[in-house]
Amino acid sequence: GNSVTQMEGPVTLSEEAFLTINCTYTATGYPSLFWYVQYPGEGLQLLLKATKADDKGSNKGFEATYRKETTSFHLEKGSVQVSDSAVYFCASINSGGSNYKLTFGKGTLLTVNP
């Protein structure tokens, strides 16, 4: 089955620092890939997604590129803010969603200090 591995946290940065959270996947075929964010006491919010190789997902200054050759989907942001403090999850789903199941990484806690 699919699996997703993301860097363990916690990650602590100062405001305006550069962020990278690594994510790699294993899957049969070419899955769709997602980054979700979870704020304290809340559910998951979709941050960005990519559905095929070389696609770049972007939202709110965050970016991730689907790299088939390295089976990776690393999350980046050029200048983080205190409000970005949250847990970030990388996830995959089989192409076409044929098993109707998201597979998640274990999550990375990001804390941004002023």
Partner 1 sequence: KAGVTQTPRYLIKTRGQQVTLSCSPISGHRSVSWYQQTPGQGLQFLFEYFSETQRNKGNFPGRFSGRQFSNSRSEMNVSTLELGDSALYLCASSFEGGGYTFGSGTRLTVV
Q: How many CB atoms are closer than 10 A to CB 33?
A: 27
| Binding window for partner 1 (CB under 8 A); candidates: 17-25, 64-72, 74-82, 89-97 | 89-97
Residue 34's closest CA among 69, 1, 70, 6?
Answer: 6
Residue whose entry in the numeric block shows the structure tokens 């597979």: 103
Q: Does 66 bind partner 1 (CB under 8 A)?
A: no
Q: Does 101 bind partner 1 (CB under 8 A)?
A: yes
| Binding window for partner 1 (CB under 8 A); candidates: 15-23, 41-49, 66-74, 78-86 | 41-49
Q: Does 104 bind partner 1 (CB under 8 A)?
A: yes
Residue 107's closest CA among 44, 57, 33?
Answer: 44
User: Of 10, 40, 43, 114, which one interacts with partner 1 (CB under 8 A)?
Assistant: 43
